[in-house]
Structure 1
Amino acid sequence: MNFMHHNINAKHDTSRRVFSLTLTLIAVFFSTISYAKSVLILGDSISAGYGINPHAGWVALLEQKLSSVSDDNEVNVINASVSGNTSSDGLARLPKLIEAHTPDIIVVELGGNDGLRGHPLKVMESNLNSIIALGKNAGSEVILAGIEIPPNYGQRYTNEFKKVFVRVAEKNDVPFIPFILEGIALEPELMQDDGIHPTEDAQPLLLENIWPSLKEILIPNLSE
């Protein structure tokens, strides 16, 4: 009887150790899983895919890239870009977008239409500051994508326009892409006939310009 009793106790001890080890392994497994993130793109025609197949746009390519990085990394990309939008339009739309999607990251790609329409730069600067403040107050990390306008708008205006993005990025201490069309805008074959919008062939380059800033925030959740 004592021998049997000892055997039963030994089996119980073994079962407890196995159960404890299983719980530990489960805890380790879940601790290594990358939690889902959401990225909201608040942009204009450049991010909306004006003049091209939207499925070939840089935002769609970003979705493909994120899904291919690792099966463990679930990142939801919301493209809230609207062709023709100004910084005022983006600011007006953002509160509802934050409420609907609670994004972890917001990429702000606005201002081009402000410049093309000759809007006061002080208004654009105020709008961009307010957009970033809204995002930060909602717990989102914000990336600012800068843009430049053609020189025919006058050297003074184009220079001051460019400086707005620098000031906004510095004031709010956010990741900054100085010129989203870097390596694209001066290449005629990569621009549509209007000279403003990038072609379908330019979209991978657009993503290359944006990816480093996004990657910086998503790591260590992303393995690439």
Structure 2
Amino acid sequence: MNKHPIYILFLSLIALISTSFLTLANPSAKHAILLLGDSVSASYGMKQNQGWVHLLNQQLITQKSTYKITNASISGETTTGGLSRLPGILAKEKVDHLVIELGGNDGLRGYAPTKIKNNLLQMIKLAQDKKIPVTLYQIKITPNYGPRYNKMFEQVFIDVATETNSNLLPFFVEPLVTDASLMQKDGIHPSIKAQPIIAEFVAKQFQQIMEN
């Protein structure tokens, strides 16, 4: 059966909306911070408008900031996935600063630190080749694989930041893990209650980005 052109157009619009990144209309925004992250930045276990990225974007709108956050975070994302997606994002999106919050899922799966490092280096090079400054989060994971692996894992982010002259920020989840009310039952993802706290914490971290 032939479908009406209006119906086809409607389906196309739905597909476009469903694949768009979460951003808020901000008439003052002239600059975009691209956040490439995983579930802790993708509102895992809650609605998108309850997550810290949405809350921080609302704050930026209220402040009439010239910045907005383009959220390209996906639950379950790894550094390999981020590397495969980044070229397409940079080709389509206006990006003035790249923030990478990836590596947690790599660590939880026991991926080799050398592989994680190589992926991060490649992502940062893609951005820096386009004169886009980069900020990297120092990811930390649960000690499932023992102290030796954890030490090697955490060193990756320090080494990558040093080698690429990128900013290195402390992971915003770390201060929350000791308070069960701020974490979901899995002990990995921050709860809804934690989202405004993260938004305030990250706002202070991003201040240096937005002042440059």
Which TM class, normalised by the smaller chain length? 0.7 to 0.9
1:81: Cα distance to partner?
A: 0.6
Q: Which has the larger radius of gyration?
A: 1
Out of 48, 51, 56, which is 2:45 matched to?
51
Out of 62, 67, 73, which is 1:75 matched to?
67
Gaps of 5+ in 2: 1-27
Asked if residue 86 in structure 1 is aligned to residue 78 in structure 2, the reply is yes
Alignment of 1:137-148 (within 5 A): 137-148=129-140
1:186: Cα distance to partner?
A: 2.1
Give, as a single letter, the amino acid of the residue that structure 2 aligns with 1:104: D
Out of 130, 134, 138, which is 2:122 matched to?
130
1:111: Cα distance to partner?
A: 0.2
1:205: Cα distance to partner?
A: 2.5
Match of residue 25 from structure 2: none
Out of 136, 148, 156, which is 1:156 matched to?
148
Asked if residue 180 in structure 1 is aligned to residue 172 in structure 2, the reply is yes
Match of residue 95 from structure 1: 87
CA distance in 2, matches of 1:132, 1:208: 26
8 A contact 1:146–1:180 mirrored in 2: no
TM-score by length of 2: 0.82
Give, as a single letter, the amino acid of the residue that structure 1 aligns with 2:112: P
Match of residue 212 from structure 1: 204
8 A contact 1:184–1:205 mirrored in 2: no
8 A contact 1:121–1:164 mirrored in 2: yes
How many residue pairs get aligned? The number is 185
8 A contact 2:140–2:174 mirrored in 1: no
